[in-house]
Chains A and B, each alone.
Chain A
Amino acid sequence: MTASRGWRRFAWHAVCLAMLAALLYPIVWLVSSSFKPANEILSSLSLLPQKVIGSNYSEVFEGAAGISVWRFLTNSLIVSLGSVLGNVASCALAAYAFAWLRFRLRGVLFAFMIGTIMLPIHVLLIPQYTIFQRLGLVDTFWPLVLPKLLATDAFFVFLIVQFMRALPRELGDAARIDGCGPVQTFRHIVLPLTKPALVTTAIFTFIWSWNDFLSQLIYLNTPDNYTLPLALRLFIDQTSQTSYGAMMAMSVLTLLPIGLFFFAFQRFLVEGVATTGMNG
């Protein structure tokens, strides 16, 4: 009986691990390829380079066409961190009003906010582009960060609203008795307690803006302003295999921050998905 149970547990682990190995194979292959010479990359299934080389990375850091990968990394960081700050601040403010304050249009505005969650951005893209073009902001980071400062990611407003609503209402009463107005209640009571939702918002905003491609493709035109996804895109047009090494190295560098975030915050990430149905 126990023997068969032990065997079944072993089989379960074996199946899980085998599937996991297959699933993660492309990523491991990518990392190993970044240390291979270009001619070995395309066709070699092997996860161990025949000869480990670091020249792919040095090539990327020296830079193609005079621009080092540091520049792209910095640009990506500016966009992502700007988005994080914008989203956390603006979504928290809006969520507090929806969850804790009373005002006449609350029902209507809340319904509208929910309605925008599923709206395809494509229907906004062209007028938004026209606006930013008129303002002379195309080819700057503003079109990527400004919308976050204005809480256009309604999903996160909703996420924080749900969290704030679940806070015990006695806290609000106590604060009021102590003479706190809505602003103090927000600053001293609600905001500190909402930290987990804000962290979830920050992590997902970072990863989503880090991965974002379409809006960066549209708004950033000169190579000096390129983010990592756009720099990687330059490799698409090159059909020669000689650039594969640099491409793999830059891909690894692009995925690295996401990987680090994943290891640091995996509980937050997975719980965030499980409880909110968020689509990573």
Chain B
Amino acid sequence: MTALRQRTRTRYGDRPGIAYLFLSPWMAGALLLTVGPMLASLYLSFTNYDLFTTPRWIGLANYRRLLLDDPRFLTAVWVTVKYVALSTPLKLVAALAVAMLLNRASRAQGFYRSAFYAPSLLGASVAVALVWRVIFDTNGIVDQSLSTLGIHTGGWVASPRYALLVIVALAVWQFGAPMVIFLAGLKQIPAELYDAAAVDGAGWWRTFRSVTLPMLSPVIFFNLVLETIHAFQAFTGAFVVSGGRGGPTDSTLFYTLYLYQKGFTEYRMGYASAMAWLLVIAIAAITALLFRTARMWVFYAGEDGR
């Protein structure tokens, strides 16, 4: 059937040139702005390059320096790992909880779904990050509210202990996009399964564990991979909340922020290229790892009967 479809749809094979004509903007972009730069940055990562003089080959020196001799780099890695490990699960739990809350026959569902999704669109803006900065500042709203409750944290933005949490909170606030995806997934679960669970006398928790979670696991996996990859590349929130410096005391020195500092304020572009490649490798490795573990917990309904 699909073979037939392919054949009927693509009978312009006698004039293949036309296809490349349609494809030419994309191919130009792929060559000049993707493949070329990828190779170039790989080369630059083995050089000393300041944008204005010719790159000088220094072998593995950038990588060696990063891994063995740059404590701020290791701090940046640690901050980013903490951020990913905190923000991704919290965001997904919030998304799933709200999706389950909304998954109910009601005419208001569409309204709630849109409204809960709104922060996902706004949250990437510098404007919202600035609001976060003011809300969590010393004597700001959060500080004051906590103080009246007898908890004196002294403002989160200026505190090395809490500054990262401000950015985590900003990320979790944007749970709307994965929530919408979860909700679409929940609607796909056949009602018979819930009926059967009810007949068997399963309670809420048992139903959740034995029906909802396994049936939803492909969607959970999808969101987990996507959100993890995104979280590793977070930049705007950290830049705005820390004023571009990653402080206080490097507590919000995100990987991408440090890369930006090295590349575009210190113009050590070879060094920054090495950082970029390590990031790509790390993200690829973690994605591969997630796919590995997927075999153990992701359940595809279609596979079961085989």
Task: Digitize A59-94: 1 where CB-to-B-CB distance is under 8 Å, 0 elsewhere.
Answer: 000000000000000000000000000000111011
Chain A residues touching B, range? 35 or more
In the complex, whether B288 has a CB less than 8 A from a CB of chain A is no
- Closest chain-B Cβ to A182's Cβ sits at a distance in Å of 5
Report whether B277 and A123 are in contact in the complex, using a CB–CB cutoff of 8 Å. Answer: yes
Q: Which of A91, A101, A128, A266 contacts B12 (CB 8 A)?
A: A101
Q: Which of A91, A254, A270, A278 contacts B127 (CB 8 A)?
A: A254
Report whether B102 and A29 are in contact in the complex, using a CB–CB cutoff of 8 Å. Answer: no
Give Cα distance in the complex from A207 to B101, angstroms: 28
Give Cα distance in the complex from A184 to B11, angstroms: 14
**Count of inter-chain pairs, beta carbons less than 8 A:** 295
Report whether A251 and B131 are in contact in the complex, using a CB–CB cutoff of 8 Å. Answer: yes
Looking at chain A's contact residues, the main secondary structure is: helix
Nearest chain-B residue to A235 (Cβ)?
Answer: B130
Report whether B25 and A123 are in contact in the complex, using a CB–CB cutoff of 8 Å. Answer: no
In the complex, whether A97 has a CB less than 8 A from a CB of chain B is yes
Q: Which of A20, A97, A232, A267 contacts B22 (CB 8 A)?
A: A97
In the complex, whether A126 has a CB less than 8 A from a CB of chain B is yes
Known contacts A151-B29, A207-B121; A130/B40 CB under 8 A: yes
Report whether B256 and A122 are in contact in the complex, using a CB–CB cutoff of 8 Å. Answer: yes
Known contacts A42-B137, A147-B33, A237-B243; A24/B18 CB under 8 A: no
Report whether B276 and A120 are in contact in the complex, using a CB–CB cutoff of 8 Å. Answer: yes
Report whether B125 and A255 are in contact in the complex, using a CB–CB cutoff of 8 Å. Answer: yes
Interface residues of B in 177-208 (CB under 8 A from A): 177-178, 180-181, 183-184
Nearest chain-A residue to B273 (Cβ)?
Answer: A126
Report whether B236 and A150 are in contact in the complex, using a CB–CB cutoff of 8 Å. Answer: no
Give Cα distance in the complex from A23 to B117, angstroms: 10
Interface residues of A in 247-276 (CB under 8 A from B): 247, 250-252, 254-255, 258-259, 261-262, 266-267, 269-270, 273-275
Add 19 more A-B contacts to A16-B101, A182-B15 (CB < 8 A). Answer: A43-B141, A97-B23, A101-B10, A106-B19, A120-B276, A120-B283, A122-B233, A123-B273, A150-B33, A151-B26, A173-B8, A210-B125, A218-B264, A229-B126, A232-B127, A233-B126, A266-B117, A273-B181, A274-B183
8 pairs of A and B residues whose beta carbons are closest in the complex? A150-B29, A102-B10, A127-B37, A251-B127, A94-B26, A127-B40, A97-B22, A101-B19
